[in-house]
Amino acid sequence: MRNVVIIGSGPAGLTAAIYTARANLSPLLIEGWQSGGQLTTTTEVENYPGFARGIMGPELMKDMRAQAGRFGTEFLTGDVTAVNLAQLPFTLTVDGEHTVQTRTVIIATGASAIPIGLKNEARLTGHGVSTCATCDGFFFKEKELLVVGGGDSALEEANFLTKFATKVSVIHRRDKLRASKIMQDRAMRNEKIAFIWNSIVEDILGTDVVTGARIKNVVTGTSSDISCSGVFVAIGHRPNTALFTGQVDMDEKGYIRTHHGTATNIPGVFAAGDVQDSTYRQAVTAAGSGCMAAIDVERFLETTAHNL
Ligand code: NAP
């Protein structure tokens, strides 16, 4: 029987681990098959306080994991495939095989990239379609690329891809970007970046690998084909909450509802990071709420320990 199990290994989960470990709660952190969350697929993180010259996302996560380990966090590599939060102790099933019982749970499963939803997008994923410039940009030396989206992610991907590509076109469904001013300015200054406004991707073209995209101007209604060797989709994220459907209260978009800090509708179950935050979605806010969840768990255990 554990005091606390943390599900997820992004900034929220690892910060919760650092705090619960230092509170002598001997946390178990179930980290998935790929540790580190979304920051492992980003490049330079320039807005995480404490790193005046910036830090690479994967390096930041490696250090956070080492910090959590230093205070005695136990890590389990694998995916939680089922949860029973209806009775105490809570039961978590890992990879469909073994179960873990715990007094409290911190859900920090984060969010995942949203696909456009095209048939050929799924078929050509890994063959020119990607959601991760850091992972795949290297394969597109001297090629022309398309980035879909108008937020910070899209511009960050586009900027990074210009290290390899000859030209990167950002296609956005409106004529105004959602991205922050600093990211916009940087992209506008980059000579390799072009913008295709008021347009969406209707289809991705190519038999074995991406050769182009069919795009539609939503103002004029006209469609045209453009050639490119890769399509990077950066149109936002959705929370990874399918596992908790029907047990934990969520909003209409699937984000876990929290109140009084990180409490969910189930006493003893807490949620931190992007899984419960559709507004801020920053590494530093995720880490902050991971800290809050750890303190909430500590207080919960202090007040309810005699009942268990
Ligand atoms: P986002 O801010 O939600 O932007 C998503 C973009 O994709 C929007 O421009 C949206 O268009 C477009 N879009 C959504 N659905 C679409 C669809 N079906 N077809 C075509 N376009 C679609 O998501 P994000 O860029 O991933 O950023 C998420 C959060 O992380 C934000 O808070 C952002 O500031 C943060 N972030 C920060 C950094 C940084 O500071 N370095 C880097 C990356 C992300 P509309 O604009 O028309 O809605």
pLDDT tens digits, residue range 177-209?
Answer: 999 999 999 999 999 999 999 999 999 999 999
Q: What is the pLDDT of residues 81-97, one digit of tens each?
A: 999 999 999 999 999 99
Pocket test for ligand 1, best of 38, 60, 131, 153 (most atoms within 8 A of CB): 153
Q: Whose CA is nearest to atom 16 of ligand 1?
A: 235
Q: Whose CA is nearest to atom 28 of ligand 1?
A: 236
Task: State yes or no: pLDDT of 306 exceeds 80.
Answer: no
What residues act catalytically?
132, 135-136
Q: What is the pLDDT of residues 27-47, one digit of tens each?
A: 999 999 989 998 887 777 888
Four-CA torsion 281, 283, 287, 289, nearest 10 degrees: -10
Task: State yes or no: pLDDT of 308 exceeds 80.
Answer: no
Q: DSSP states of 219-258 as a string? A: TT--EEEEE-SEEEE-S-EEE--GGGTTTS-B-TTSPBP-
Joined together, the tokens standing for residue 131 give 């959601």
pLDDT of residue 305: 65
Q: Contact 249/256 with Cβ under 8 angstroms?
A: yes
**pTM confidence score:** 0.80
Please give the number of the atom of ligand 1 that sits closest to the Cα of 172: 21
Q: What is the pLDDT of residues 226-250, one digit of tens each?
A: 999 999 999 998 999 999 999 999 9
**Three-class SS state of 21:** helix
CA 165 – ligand 1 centroid, Å = 22
Going from the C-alpha of 106 to that of each of 9, 13, 240, 268, 286, the distances in angstroms are 11, 8, 14, 8, 13
Going from the C-alpha of 160 to that of each of 60, 134, 140, 146, the distances in angstroms are 18, 8, 12, 13
